[in-house]
Structure 1
Amino acid sequence: MKQFALLFLIATVFIGCSDRDDNLDGVNIRIKNESSVTFDTVQVGSEEMIHENIGPEEYSGYLEYETAYSYAYINITAGEENYVFQPIDFVGETPLENGFYTYGLSISEEGVVVLNFVVD
């Protein structure tokens, strides 16, 4: 009887567990600030998709996108400075599958935005 109860408990735990990306309807992207300055705003793609107040080595919350790629148009505001990462096009690129992703962003000494794409 004890073996049956233990087996039932184990089966219940495994059946009740799910991945956080099960049943997602979109692509969830967050920002990791890999620079030494605070990002006041980070626009990823459209003007409505704004991540705010991300300190050095901190993460933003996730925002949900209908369609996204491993890179995107990015506009970073840090104090009085503005930095832009501008892709030319997405021809031949495959859209990301529904799930969770991180754009690790830093700024080079020359003021160029460096994107480090990570699957979470």
Structure 2
Amino acid sequence: MKKFGLLIAFLILLTGCTDRDDDLSGVKIRVKNESSFNFDKVQVGEAAMLHTNIAPGNFSRYLEYKTAYNYAYINITVGDENYILQPIDFVGETPLPEGFYTYGLKISEEGEVILNFMVD
């Protein structure tokens, strides 16, 4: 009886564990705030895709994108200020394969958005 109980407990623990790598469908992007102030909103690409309330040194949750590149249009809102990174085009660029990625974002003293792309 004791062995049966251990077997059941092991099966419950085994099936209850999940890993983010279990769902590799799509391109998932999160934002890391590499600045010293809070990001209220960060728009990456499409307007509907918003990462919100990211404290300095912290990460947003992953959002799934249909198509993404190792750089993107970025609009960071901090209070009443907007900071924008505007790519010219994606001609010749290869879309990212399915997986998990991080856009490390920092705003320079001059107000420029600096993007640090990372594969997770």
2-structure distance, mates of 1:95, 1:18: 27
Supply the distance in 2 between the matched residues of 1:77 and 1:19 (Cα, whole angstroms).
32
TM-score (normalizing by structure 1): 0.82
C-alpha distance in 1 between matches for 2:18 and 2:78: 38
Indicate yes or no: 2:91 matched with 1:88: no
1:107 maps to 2:111: no
Runs of 4+ with >2 A deviation: 17-25
| Corresponding residue number in structure 2 for 1:8 | none
Give the conservation status (yes or no) of the 8 Å contact 1:21–1:98.
Answer: no
Alpha-carbon deviations, 1:7-63, whole Å to 9, x = none? xxxxxxxxxx99743553310000000000100000000110000000000000000
Percent of aligned pairs with the same amino acid = 71
CA offsets per residue over residues 79-101 of structure 1, 9 Å max, x none?
11110000000001000000000
The aligned counterpart of 2:5 is: none
Aligned equivalent of 1:4: none
The answer for unaligned runs of 5 or more in structure 1 is: 1-16
User: Any gaps of 5 or more consecutive residues in structure 2?
Assistant: 1-16
- Aligned partners of 1:23, 1:102: CA distance in 2, in Å? 16
Stretch deviating more after TM superposition (17-26 or 35-44): 17-26
Could you tell me which amino acid in structure 2 is paired with residue 97 of structure 1?
A: P
> What one-letter code is carried by the residue in structure 2 that aligns with 1:26?
G
Distance 2:52 2:23 in 1: 27
Matched to 1:101, the amino acid is Y
TM-score (normalizing by structure 2): 0.82
- In structure 1, distance between residues paired with 2:33 and 2:99: 20
